[in-house]
Structure 1
Amino acid sequence: MSELTSVLLAGAIALGVAGHIAWLARAGRNRAKAALAADMASVRSVVPDASDISDGMAGVITWAGSWNGQRVQLRTIVDTLATRKLPTRWLSVSITEPVAVPGVFDMMMRPNSATTFSNFDHLAHTLPKVLAFPADAVLKTDRKGVAFPQDLIATHTDIFAESRAKELLITPKGVRIVWLLAEAERARYGVFRQAAFGDAGIDPALIERLLEAASTLRQAINRRERRAA
């Protein structure tokens, strides 16, 4: 093979590789757009007035709207922080209405690594818990010496018997539940280091269920506070 032929062949191979990479990039963008549209449709089937209020943070999509007369927020977060694990995709569902609690109450299930969706690791005070809480739960707060209605909260944690339920956050501004949607495809992440989640979209029934759980807990806390006043 002549030197010129070798150069031409190398150039053709380089062009072919570049073209294939460009095609993969376009295909990835198209899949991402289709997945976002599907997620939006799922969210709006439960929260019809939901709008995308994302701030451009990579891997985070946020919607806000109203549900059953309450302000709500839904967010998906791609977490690539955890070491020695596959990237994960979380669904955060919040009722963003006042709650009668004296500070931040954060219950995290199996908190064995840092997360990108929570400030749990930065809360300074660990709370003792009543026996009715899940065995794998750890409770924290931002204020030492405050009391929360743990007996009441514990009666609303049945959903955390499921391994995908990860966090319950209660603050004076609302109630949030975080749920594991999916782990990244092992083969693609292992080869390309891409956090692809296949067809793991958002199930409207799951959104409804998490909103119901958060809303019921908020109402129970506020109802007790009104009776005690």
Structure 2
Amino acid sequence: MSELTSVLLVGAIALVVVAHIAWLARAGRNRAKAALAADMASVRRVIRDAADISDGTAGVVTWAGSWNGQRVQLRTIVDTLATRKLPTRWLAVSITEPVAVPGIFDMMMRPNSATTFSNFDHLPHTLPKVLDLPAEAVLRTDRKGVAFPQDLIASHTDIFAESRAKELLITPKGVRIVWLLAEAERARYGVFRQAAFSDANIDPALVERLLEVASRLREAINRRERQAA
């Protein structure tokens, strides 16, 4: 094989490799667009006026709108922290309306590693908990010496018996529940280090369920505060 032929062959191989990489990137973008469109369609089955208000943060998509006369927000977060065995995709469902609590109440299930979807790790005070709250839950707050209606909160935490329920956050500005949507495909992540989620579609029934739990809890807390006033 002549030197010229060798050079041409190497050049041809390089062009094929570049073209294949470009094709993979384009296919990845197309899949991402299709997945985002499917998620938007699912969200709008529950929140009719949902709008994408994402700020461009990688791996985070946020929608806001109204549901049953209340302002709500949905967010999906891809968590790729190196401390996790596999990347995870979380769904955070929030009622963004006032709640009669004196500070931040954050209940995290099995908090054995850092999180990218929550400020739980940065809250300075751990709360003692009532027996009716989940055994695997840890409670934290931003204010020392404050009291929360834990008995009332406990009566609305049945959903946390399910392993996918991860966090309940109550603040004066709203109530949020975080749910595990999926873990990345092990084979693809192990070989290509790509966080692909084949079963991470947003289920409208799940969104409705989480909104109902958050809404009932908010209403119960505010009702007790009104009665005590």
Shared topology, TM-score over 0.5?
Answer: yes
Q: Does 2:164 match 1:131?
A: no
Contact 2:189–2:196 under 8 Å retained in 1 = yes
1:143 corresponds to which residue? 143
1:34-49 matches, within 5 Å, as 34-49=34-49
Could you report, residue by residue, the CA deviation over 1:30-60 in whole angstroms, capped at 9, with x for unpaired residues? Answer: 0000000000000000000010111111111
Contact 2:182–2:199 under 8 Å retained in 1 = no
3-state secondary structure, aligned to 2:24: helix
1:97-112 matches, within 5 Å, as 97-112=97-112
Quickly say closer, same or farther: Cα 1:125–1:226, change in 2 above 3 A: same
Mean Cα deviation higher: 191-200 or 149-158? 191-200
Give 1:10 shift: 1.2
Could you report, residue by residue, the CA deviation over 1:104-134 in whole angstroms, capped at 9, with x for unpaired residues? Answer: 0000000011111000000000000001111
Following the alignment from structure 2 to structure 1, what is the Cα–Cα distance between the partners of residues 33 and 84?
29
Q: Does 2:184 match 1:204?
A: no
Q: Does 2:30 match 1:30?
A: yes
1:49-198 matches, within 5 Å, as 49-198=49-198
Paired letter, 2:76: T
Q: Structure 1 length as normaliser, TM-score?
A: 0.98
Contact 2:177–2:210 under 8 Å retained in 1 = yes
1:3-14 matches, within 5 Å, as 3-14=3-14
Could you report, residue by residue, the CA deviation over 1:43-89 in whole angstroms, capped at 9, with x for unpaired residues? Answer: 00000001011111111100000000000000000011151411110
3-state secondary structure, aligned to 1:58: coil
3-state secondary structure, aligned to 1:46: coil
Q: Does 2:18 match 1:18?
A: yes
Alpha carbon RMSD of aligned pairs, Å?
0.8
Following the alignment from structure 1 to structure 2, what is the Cα–Cα distance between the partners of residues 36 and 199?
14
Mean Cα deviation higher: 82-91 or 51-60? 82-91
Mean Cα deviation higher: 64-73 or 75-84? 75-84
Following the alignment from structure 2 to structure 1, what is the Cα–Cα distance between the partners of residues 188 and 60?
21
Paired letter, 1:78: V
3-state secondary structure, aligned to 1:195: coil
Could you report, residue by residue, the CA deviation over 1:188-224 in whole angstroms, capped at 9, with x for unpaired residues? Answer: 1112211111242100000000000000000000011
Following the alignment from structure 2 to structure 1, what is the Cα–Cα distance between the partners of residues 29 and 12?
26
Following the alignment from structure 1 to structure 2, what is the Cα–Cα distance between the partners of residues 21 and 145?
57
Q: Which consecutive residues of structure 2, in runs of 5 or more, have no partner in the other structure?
A: none
Following the alignment from structure 1 to structure 2, what is the Cα–Cα distance between the partners of residues 154 and 68?
24
Q: Percent identity?
A: 89
Following the alignment from structure 2 to structure 1, what is the Cα–Cα distance between the partners of residues 199 and 215?
29
Give 1:8 shift: 1.4
Following the alignment from structure 2 to structure 1, what is the Cα–Cα distance between the partners of residues 83 and 184?
14
Paired residues, what number?
229
Contact 2:99–2:174 under 8 Å retained in 1 = yes
Give 1:2 shift: 2.2
Q: Which consecutive residues of structure 1, in runs of 5 or more, have no partner in the other structure?
A: none
Mean Cα deviation higher: 172-181 or 2-11? 2-11
Contact 2:89–2:200 under 8 Å retained in 1 = no
Could you report, residue by residue, the CA deviation over 1:1-21 in whole angstroms, capped at 9, with x for unpaired residues? Answer: 222222211111111111111
